[in-house]
Amino acid sequence: MADMADSADVADQAVNGNHTGRSNGHGDWRTRLRPLEGLAAAGGPVSRIGGGLLSAAQDLGASAAGAAAHRVRRRLRADLDDRDPDWLRERLPLLWLLATIWFRGEVRNLGNVPEKGPVLLVGNHSGGNITPDTFIFTLAFSSYFGIERRFHQLAHNLVVTLPLSGALVRRGGTVAASHGNAEKALEAGAALLVYPGGDWEVHRPSWESARVDLAGRKGFIRLALEQGVPIVPVVSIGGQETALFLSRGNWLARALGLDRLLRLKVLPISLALPWGLNVGDFLGHVPLPAKITTEVLPAIDLGEEFGPDPDVDEVYGHLTRTMQETLDALAAERRFPLLG
Amino acid sequence: MRLNESIVVSAPPKLVWEQIAEPSNYLHFMSGITRWEVEGERRQGIGARYRMLIRVGSAEVGGLIEVVEWAPERDLAWTSVLGVDQRGRWRLRELPDGRTRVELRYSYGVAGAGLFGWIAERVAAPSLGANLRRSLQRLKRLVEHERLRAEASRRRAERARSAA
């Protein structure tokens, strides 16, 4: 779900990309209607009426495209006030029921998160577009520290811009993944959950369930250094058993140009309920009731552990190694798939 | 949802009260409790605040609570300030034979959570109820053990005095 990108303001690039895409679409729309313009200019009251309608349709099309682009832009720039703590509080029982009955979720050592102040929670990401580890952690965090403590999650642009589910996740505290949004959240004193592996890691094949793959993305480390906040690794297992993930389909995404158009580096292929063969996972799926176990590791103060000028690669190596060791231990505990 | 459990402790209310009035004891005898810390200056009495958490299913739930009733050796009640809505009450009553009936009442929920809140309260009830029962059994063991130790200590002191 979430994706912490390296570039300084990827969201803005994405917005421009989307905007350009829509403008082009609008241009095509006008081009397609051009023969009708000629017809309208041919004279007569009927054709004048036709011309008027055409012009109105064009204006309507242009304003609709403009409004949609504005909405997307607004959703990609984090408005931290979109998070609604009361709404979230009232949804905790539903989340608790799902986490407890369906996923038998277990979040260990939440006490490792510093009691106060901004903190960067860095997780491995599992479960395709329906990521149980995210909402189980959100439930655990909100129950443990109280909904009064500001907690945000970074997510892929598509997640926060979708018409219905986008509104829901934004009320839950999710913002579009970008350096700017992350800075904004940390400056507001929030605990911020990021999944550097993003869509690359979340769609890894099920047989790589016990592998941490942050895809070499290190922007989150620079962010923690700039903001002077500690990093708390969060390691989960079980999400990759909620469907049979077969391939990331990165070759398919490239072939269809989705990487440039929608920032989608993958077009995952899986066997999932209720679809059977599920390509893209755009509509999500019904996750199998796999047990989800999450372990929160001790906070890493980068300045204290790596000196006054930490080397980003060294921090990345240390962090991924630590997370992998924990994931290995969680995998070793697991006796059966799904059952845990 | 309200839960109510009780037990008879073979000790006077004073000894039971000593255990339940001291916040640092809660982590020892309350089952499922993962946190019980004093918040603020006041440790005991009306207005004392504690940050508490209890493991229920997939989450540790609780929040900030405040003591709202404090009648030594009889009643101690608290209500939630932050976190899930909760009210709790210790009710101690002396029986004619000198023992104490200890009642622990606990009501909880999330206001405004609707149908799912109603279901979640009922799903959580068996494990919460079991935790309350275990807590009362532990409290009983703790208090009765303390009473035995106190009596043994008193006897030792008497023997020492008579020997002298």
- ipTM here: 0.89
If 0-12 CB within 10 Å is exposed, 13-18 middle and 19+ buried, where does residue B105 land?
middle
Q: What are the CB-based long-range contacts (under 8 Å, 24+) for B81-84?
A: B81/B49, B82/A146, B82/A148, B83/A143, B83/A146, B84/A92, B84/A143, B84/B108, B84/B109, B84/B110
Q: Is A93–B53 a contact, with Cβ atoms under 8 angstroms apart?
A: no
Residue A290 phi, psi (nearest 5): -80, 140
Give me the domains of chain A, ranges plus CATH numbers. Answer: 80-333 (3.40.1130)
Q: What is the pLDDT at residue A61? A: 60
Give me the domains of chain B, ranges plus CATH numbers. Answer: 2-163 (3.30.530.20)
Token digits for B91? 């009710």
From CA A131, how far away is CA B76, in angstroms rounded?
Answer: 43
Contact A110, A144 (CB under 8 A): yes
| Distance between A140 CA and the closest CA of chain B, angstroms | 5
Interface with B, mutate which of A101, A144, A145 (most B CBs under 10 A): A144
Token digits for A84? 């609604």
For residue A99, the tally of other CB atoms under 10 A from its CB is 26
Query: pLDDT 10s digit of each residue in chain B, 164 long?
Result: 999 999 999 999 999 999 999 999 999 999 999 999 999 999 999 999 999 999 999 999 999 999 999 999 999 999 999 999 999 999 999 999 999 999 999 999 999 999 999 999 999 999 999 999 999 999 999 999 988 988 899 999 999 999 88
User: Scanning every residue of chain B, which has its alpha carbon at the shortest distance from the alpha carbon of A91?
Assistant: B113
Token digits for B127? 């494990």
Confirm or reject contact between B32 and chain A (CB < 8 A): no
Q: What is the pLDDT at residue A75? A: 61
Mean pLDDT, rounded, for A109-138: 94
Adjacent-strand bridge partners of B89:
B77, B105
Confirm or reject contact between B59 and chain A (CB < 8 A): yes
Dihedral, A218, A219, A221, A225 alpha carbons, nearest 10: 150
> Which residues in chain B have Cβ-Cβ distances shorter than 8 Å to A116?
none
| Distance between A249 CA and the closest CA of chain B, angstroms | 33
In three-state secondary structure terms, A244 is strand
Q: What is the pLDDT at residue A308? A: 87
For residue B139, what are the contacts with CB-CB under 8 A and spacing of at least 6?
B7, B9, B16, B19, B20, B29, B102
Task: Give yes or no for a cis peptide into A93 (omega within 30° of 0).
Answer: no
Q: What is the pLDDT confidence band of residue A109, given thresholds at 50, 70 and 90? A: very high
Longest C-alpha distance within chain A, in Å? 81
Mean pLDDT, rounded, for A255-271: 87
Q: What is the pLDDT confidence band of residue A340, given thresholds at 50, 70 and 90? A: confident
